[in-house]
Structure 1
Amino acid sequence: MALDDLQQPNIGTPDFARGASTAMRKTWAIVTTIGFALFWVAGLFLAASLVGGQPMHWSMPVFCAAGLALGLYGRRKVEAR
């Protein structure tokens, strides 16, 4: 792949200029970010408790699964047009 292929200018109209960026889509994008953040933070605590030999609190697997579900659902809602 040539460098000229990588350095092409932005061609086309962005979503916000076409009116495709609605308030509902922005809200679902924020929900998606929060869901995946919850998944990664709870997953980190879950992995740390498993590796470190510490007792695991019941909420970590629940938050991890809920964050993943929320993130995936929000992602589907953002990409649905």
Structure 2
Amino acid sequence: MAIRQPRYSKEEFAQRGDALYDSQIRSQVEEGNHGKIVAIDIETGAFEVADNLLTASKLLCARVPDAQTWFVRIGHSAVDHFGARSLRTKP
């Protein structure tokens, strides 16, 4: 199995993923999916929604085998966190 390598800097990866989510994907997935994970291919805009990172990643990679994957947790400012502070975004 070939190991996928990132083709973008960390900054460009984040910028592309966030831009796709905000401009094209958010309106399609937010209602009824709070807390779920969106896996986004930053090159094609293809995405999958699932309850956890692994499932979202597997679903996306089944469709786009060489995906450059960016993850977003719906309704939160980050996918994961450490500590007791809430990551929910304010409406």
Q: TM-score range by the shorter chain?
A: under 0.3
The structure with higher relative contact order (CA 8 Å, sep 6+) is 1
Which structure shows the bigger proportion of residues in strand conformation? 2
TM-score (norm 2): 0.23
